[in-house]
Structure 1
Amino acid sequence: MTDNDGYLPLPKGFTTIAIHEAQDPEQWSHHEIVTPITMTSTFKQDEPGVFKYQYGRIGNPTREVLEKVIAKMECAKYGACFSSGLGAITTVIGLLENGDHMICMDDVYGGTNRLFLQIATKFGIEVTFADGDVDSFERQIKPNTKMIFVESPTNPTMRLCDIKAITSMAKRYKVMFVIDNTFLTPYYQRPLLLGADVVMHSLTKYMNGHSDIIMGALVTNDDKLGEKIYFLQKAMGVVPSPFDCSQVLRSLKTLALRLKKHQANSLVLAKYLETHPKIERVLHPGLPSHPQHELAKRQSSGHSGMFSVYLKGDLETSKKFLKSLKYFALGGSLGGAESLIALSTKMTHTSVPKDQRDKLGITDNLIRISVGIEDVEDLIADMKYALDQI
């Protein structure tokens, strides 16, 4: 076990899994080194009801390889891919029934908030929000509570949940614990090993990392949940294309390499911004100034390129700053090779009620930053120039 700056050790064999898991060339007719893209909607059956693959929505060889790789990376028995991150969360809703109650962390991606409040509630699912502290979740528990859903770190205020503590509490009440692990990926955080029941990813982000596909995934070690997830994948049809699956398989081979660069760049940039007179506050779990820095080290192996800052100013200040950037593109995604930047109040969290945004600190001067893998000196110079304009 090697030192990792006080964090948990990095997972061993991670890139070997990405390159070799379920990808033996001899299983393919032409012994391809790269998993073939099986672009077909249906498959020929040996006789009625006798087949290896039946229909593209139900199963596809390219998708199956990707699901096995992601499951192995998360130390999971079951993995299923979906046509988007929200498609994966929609499937999570499918694990519940009319009359069930779920507790969601109050600080989550705006699309998640919208899905739960405006869609899930229409199907008779009761949704309440709680602070990320374990006690706040426990206070919300009811006899019909069936699920707790969190992000850690959160989008965009970079708060952390104590995964082990929430797991312990959820198990006492026999409540399913689901965590969105998009920001850290299984390279930096493995929630199933900390006790979570289901882990969700927006593969669109770091797992793919090239800003060219949209996809999601769910993994679990629970046999019953695994069977339910596969059934819902088939029954709801929220499946990705084989081509997109191939793109993610390609990207996972460099995930560890990319994340190390994302992490290094984000720390250098965050440290620079902490000293800048026009920055009010930097929110980065990898910095000692983050109030949950020690928790980050206890439950993760590092941090990605994601962090947020508060500018000294108002909405007009933020707009002027964002317009002055050259390398940081104004865009509502994250995790790509290219650096992106977002104003959450006007972009990713517009569907979250303003009073809830204000309570969470998602204000017009909060800037979310996705640091790419460019040369960090250029990124610092870009930030310096834009800050000089305000």
Structure 2
Amino acid sequence: MTLLNQTTAVRAGIDCDTQYGAVTPPLYLSSNYAFEDLNQPRKYDYSRSGNPTRDILAAALAELEHAAGGVVTATGMGAVNLVLQLLPQGALVVAPHDCYGGTYRLLTTLHDKGAIKVDFVDQNDWSQIHQAIDKKPDLLWIETPSNPLLRVVDIRKLCEAAGPDVLKVVDNTFLSPALQQPITLGADLVVHSTTKYINGHSDVVGGAVLAKTEALAEQVTWWANCIGITASPFDCLLTTRGLRTLNVRMQQHLENTEKIVQFLEQHPAIKKIHYPGLTDHPGHEIAQKQQAHFGAMLSFELRGGYEEVGQLVNNLNYFTLAESLGGVESLICHPATMTHAAMAPEAQLKAGINASLIRLSVGIEAADDLIADLEYGLSRTLLKPVEEKCHVK
């Protein structure tokens, strides 16, 4: 396994303090900054518009993503909303039919209000892609691997098909710049929920938008200030600290995931595994081409339904039932009732989300403990009633 950007993330903000030489950058909590003279503002005047702590994180993320610049937002959905501000009234957005539930909710709501038009398509179905491109969309939204079914689409091929007149945006949250860099594959903008792998400790909510060109970065920056969507300095400080350990964390995430997938492949309670690292996964070859690794997210379908899912999650100790992903702790999620609950039942069905689907965010705990936990939970699924939860000593 070879991660991208082996050293840059570690150096994020280190030794950049020109005033006192602090090795780690200081936290600038000031909401405003003094002008040098009348009509002579300094580099910073008001923290919504610009803040030194936030700029350190933005610069580090831009370097990791090979971007010209970018903005750090207060949430991941804030980053999605920020991108949509670049569009004219009534713009056509082509988005994946199985995108993240929060993105789906925002796009459909704006569509219903008449602010934009949305065409949800299966981005692995090239007949649908060509039909959508023929409508001359303003924006192509790409999410790969998808949430929660880990579908993989060809970023370069999609961007080339869209052409230069379409704004091409990739949500890179599931992999982080350590494993995938969409701008090098043709994207104009990269979106992150920095809450996930970039921060990696489940203690900060945030987002980011990184732009391929300086002109696009300037637009994103202007809109971020205009709508007041920028992140707080303290959140940026914590996220930058998390970013410095991205590569070492990711190594352990990936090693654990490989072992867990091998275990699940052999378990009789598992009906199907969705993971690009499996050679029979439809996106395996594309993932090999555009990703540095297959990632630390996976989903699987139980032989059973909602009741059996309940038995499993209530017999786990190391896997916490919670939303979000990418933290050092392992999480288990039921997309139909959690992350994608905003989707109508028919939309869930079309996206392939059913009652037996479970998503795992594999943490950095000892792999043997995680596997033992899953073995315990699965052994009581379909076999025995739920017993005591605290079984791991």
TM range (shorter): over 0.9
Which residues in structure 2 correspond to 1:1-390 (within 5 Å)?
Answer: 4=1, 10-11=3-4, 14-21=5-12, 23-27=14-18, 29-50=19-40, 51-119=42-110, 121-133=112-124, 134-171=126-163, 174-390=165-381
Pick closer, same or farther for the CA change 1:10–1:338 going to 2, 3 Å. Answer: closer
What SS does the aligned partner of 2:191 have? strand
Q: Distance in 1 between matches of 2:119 and 2:361?
A: 29
Q: Is the 8 A contact 1:15 1:254 kept in 2?
A: no
Q: Is the 8 A contact 2:95 2:118 kept in 1?
A: yes
Pick closer, same or farther for the CA change 1:67–1:218 going to 2, 3 Å. Answer: same
Q: Amino acid of the residue matched to residue 220 of structure 2? A: I
Single out whichever of 223-232 and 269-278 deviates more from structure 2. Answer: 223-232
Q: Amino acid of the residue matched to residue 47 of structure 1? A: D
Q: Is the 8 A contact 1:340 1:371 kept in 2?
A: yes
Q: Distance in 2 between matches of 1:85 and 1:32?
A: 30
Q: Is the 8 A contact 1:267 1:287 kept in 2?
A: no
Q: Amino acid of the residue matched to residue 33 of structure 1? A: V
**Offset at residue 221 of structure 1 (A):** 1.5
Per-residue Cα deviation, 1:15-52 (whole angstroms, up to 9, x for no partner): 4322335543442x221111111001111111133212
Q: Distance in 1 between matches of 2:101 and 2:129?
A: 20
Q: Is the 8 A contact 2:92 2:138 kept in 1?
A: yes
What SS does the aligned partner of 1:327 have? coil
Q: Amino acid of the residue matched to residue 34 of structure 2? A: K
Q: Is the 8 A contact 1:121 1:127 kept in 2?
A: no
**Offset at residue 305 of structure 1 (A):** 1.5
What SS does the aligned partner of 1:204 have? coil
**Offset at residue 144 of structure 1 (A):** 4.9
Q: Distance in 1 between matches of 2:214 and 2:20?
A: 34
> Sequence identity of aligned pairs in percent?
37
Q: Amino acid of the residue matched to residue 140 of structure 1? A: A
Q: Distance in 2 between matches of 1:288 and 1:272?
A: 16
Q: Distance in 2 between matches of 1:279 and 1:240?
A: 41
Q: Is the 8 A contact 2:10 2:245 kept in 1?
A: no
Q: Distance in 2 between matches of 1:361 and 1:351?
A: 15
Aligned residue pairs total: 379
TM-score by length of 1: 0.94
Q: Is the 8 A contact 2:179 2:291 kept in 1?
A: yes
- Segments of structure 2 that go 5 or more residues without pairing to the other structure are 382-393
Q: Distance in 1 between matches of 2:70 and 2:309?
A: 40
Per-residue Cα deviation, 1:259-297 (whole angstroms, up to 9, x for no partner): 111111011101110110010011111121312111110
Q: Distance in 2 between matches of 1:57 and 1:106?
A: 35
What SS does the aligned partner of 1:148 have? strand
**Offset at residue 122 of structure 1 (A):** 2.0
**Offset at residue 361 of structure 1 (A):** 1.4
Single out whichever of 138-147 and 355-364 deviates more from structure 2. Answer: 138-147
Q: Is the 8 A contact 2:93 2:116 kept in 1?
A: yes
**Offset at residue 121 of structure 1 (A):** 4.3
Q: Amino acid of the residue matched to residue 169 of structure 1? A: A
Q: Amino acid of the residue matched to residue 24 of structure 2? A: V
**Offset at residue 165 of structure 1 (A):** 0.7
Q: Distance in 2 between matches of 1:218 and 1:123?
A: 25
Q: Is the 8 A contact 2:133 2:162 kept in 1?
A: no
Q: Distance in 2 between matches of 1:223 and 1:170?
A: 21
Q: Amino acid of the residue matched to residue 221 of structure 1? A: K
**Offset at residue 186 of structure 1 (A):** 0.7
When you count helix as a share of all residues, which structure comes out higher?
1
Q: Is the 8 A contact 2:328 2:365 kept in 1?
A: yes
- Segments of structure 1 that go 5 or more residues without pairing to the other structure are none
What SS does the aligned partner of 1:30 have? coil
Q: Amino acid of the residue matched to residue 27 of structure 2? A: I
Q: Is the 8 A contact 1:326 1:382 kept in 2?
A: yes
**Offset at residue 304 of structure 1 (A):** 2.5
Single out whichever of 126-135 and 84-93 deviates more from structure 2. Answer: 126-135
Q: Amino acid of the residue matched to residue 286 of structure 1? A: G
Pick closer, same or farther for the CA change 1:136–1:200 going to 2, 3 Å. Answer: same
